[in-house]
Amino acid sequence: MAEIVMFQQSIFLSKGQLDKGTELATANTTPSCLRCGKNSLLTDDVTGEQFCSKCGYVISEKSQESGPEWRSFQKDGGADPARTGAPSSLMIHDMGLSTVINPLNKDASGKPLSTTMKSTIERLRTWDSRSQVHEPVDRNLRQALSDLNKLKDKVSVPANVLEKAAYIYRKALEKKLVRGRSISAMIAASLYAACRDTATPRTLKDIADSANVKRKDIARCYRLLHHELELKMPVVDSIQCIARISSKLEMSEKTKRYAVKVLKDAQERKESAGKDPMGLAATALYLACVKNGVSITQRDLAEAAGVTEVTIRNRYKGLKADQASTPKPKPKPETETETE
């Protein structure tokens, strides 16, 4: 009988503790202050404190960070403090959502597995690796994204351009445009399309040299992608190409600013429509060098821009005539002072 009474008391005690914990949890989630009852709670992101802005009462001293933690700073021999895995990315063939079975034959508590369980886990690892690249499309995508990852350092493009290139290639793979064509040429064409879409100044020749693919093959694949995927490409701004050419030749800031001014005047007069942006940028820099008395040859500019000297000479005539026809600002009239 005494045991039954003690059991009932323990039940009532656990219920009381549960109710008390529920009240505390409810109080922490309520937006009103527990002391003054006003709806004015603030959270300090630096210290993690949640307090009332009216009376200063501190509700909680620590707040749990709910954001991603991709940098774990794992200590040697300690537990991994990371709460999440790596972010999903289109640059990975399975977008980073694949299953990974730990190669260590230990359970969650660190104890070694039994012999029977070891063989089972090994068989699961084998089928897991087979299932990731079972279809030919998966193998194609893995090879293409591997080539794109190699081009990343050669072309020097940011991560958003690579994500866009991977997205374009996935769309081409869905429409079966890659069948019968070179994977290297298609991934290079996707990268060029991503550079055009994000206004990154990279020419077709740069990508062809980096990918070790013929320029004609990349251009053919790019036209196919543009037509089949109905890509809307913006017009390449020639002003963005000035910084690239001038950094190779180590030009002064004064020369670059005058070249930008020349190209802005040409764009206002619609003189740059339908012309190669790299050729226009090289010509504007040559015109700026002539204006400022900087000694430079057309061959150096042509090699830095990847165009011919004939292109610079032809564009130079048009830009020089455009500058000559630009009206100069009239000087302000001087006020005449009457002399007595």
Cα–Cα distance, 52 to 45 (Å, whole number): 14
Instruction: For residue 84, tell me if it sits in a domain.
Output: no
Beta-carbon contacts of 158 under 8 Å, excluding residues fewer than 6 positions away, are: 200
* CA–CA distances in Å: residue 334 to residues 330, 331, 337, 338: 12, 9, 9, 13
Instruction: For residue 20, tell me if it sits in a domain.
Output: no
Q: Does 209 lie in the same domain as 163? A: yes
**Cβ 293 vs Cβ 326: under 8 Å:** no
Number of domains into which the chain is organized: 2
Instruction: For residue 30, tell me if it sits in a domain.
Output: no
- Residue 287 belongs to domain spanning: 240-324
Instruction: For residue 122, tell me if it sits in a domain.
Output: no
Query: Given this model, what pLDDT does residue 325 score?
Result: 66
Instruction: For residue 117, tell me if it sits in a domain.
Output: no
Q: Does 218 lie in the same domain as 300? A: no
Q: Does 268 lie in the same domain as 291? A: yes
Which of 204, 228, 252 is the C-terminal boundary of a domain? 228
Task: For residue range 37-80, list pLDDT tens digits in order.
Answer: 888 888 887 777 888 888 888 888 766 665 555 555 555 555 55
Query: Given this model, what pLDDT does residue 88 score?
Result: 80
Query: Given this model, what pLDDT does residue 247 score?
Result: 87
Query: Given this model, what pLDDT does residue 49 score?
Result: 81
The residue written with tokens 């990154």 in the block is 200
Mean pLDDT value across the chain: 79
Instruction: For residue 74, tell me if it sits in a domain.
Output: no
Which of 201, 228, 255 is the C-terminal boundary of a domain? 228
Query: Given this model, what pLDDT does residue 271 score?
Result: 78
Burial of 203 (0-12, 13-18, 19+ CB in 10 A): buried
Q: Half-sphere exposure of residue 253, counting CA atoms within 13 Å on the CB side?
A: 0
Q: Does 206 lie in the same domain as 255? A: no
Instruction: For residue 224, tell me if it sits in a domain.
Output: yes
Instruction: For residue 141, tell me if it sits in a domain.
Output: yes
Query: Given this model, what pLDDT does residue 19 score?
Result: 45
Which of 175, 201, 228 is the C-terminal boundary of a domain? 228
Q: Does 224 lie in the same domain as 270? A: no
* Regions of the chain where pLDDT drops below 50: 1-28, 335-340
Q: Does 221 lie in the same domain as 140? A: yes
Query: Given this model, what pLDDT does residue 327 score?
Result: 58
Query: Given this model, what pLDDT does residue 269 score?
Result: 83
Q: Does 224 lie in the same domain as 140? A: yes
Cα–Cα distance, 292 to 68 (Å, whole number): 53
Q: Does 222 lie in the same domain as 250? A: no
Query: Given this model, what pLDDT does residue 23 score?
Result: 43
Q: Does 254 lie in the same domain as 285? A: yes
Query: Given this model, what pLDDT does residue 105 score?
Result: 86
Q: Indicate which CATH number applies to the domain containing 148.
A: 1.10.472.10
Query: Given this model, what pLDDT does residue 84 score?
Result: 62
Q: Does 169 lie in the same domain as 222? A: yes
**Cβ 201 vs Cβ 276: under 8 Å:** no
